Copies of this chain bind each other. A is one copy, B any other.
């Protein structure tokens, strides 16, 4: 005993983000160059409020290392540490496009799987 997860409900969110978080980042920096802090806020506005900096900085660094994004620095206009702006490379844009497709397919598959045994089930799917 004592090995209970204790918070299985909130943990689901963490697991859900996997495999999609990098895509979201790519989409965000594809819209326009952004820096870390800004991205956290942008994600929050999308409804992904639980994403924190500890999640995205390593991810951003990995993307840069893998050649999906490149960066440049610029001083902070409001005083403070200089900002590091991220912007997708060609490879990054390609990855984003592939990822969008994968997400759409996955989303459809999960929707269908979850519709099984749904409570609102009038869906009179023909008997096979």
Contact = CB atoms under 8 A, between A and B. Distances in A.
Interface stretch (A40-48, A52-60, A75-83): A40-48
A16 B48 contact: no
A7 interface: no
Interface string A8-46: 110011111111100110011111100000000011001
Interface residues of A, number: 48
Contacts of A46: 109-110, 112-113
B113 A28 contact: yes
Interface of A: 8-9, 12-20, 23-24, 27-32, 42-43, 46-48, 66, 97-100, 102-103, 105-119, 123, 125
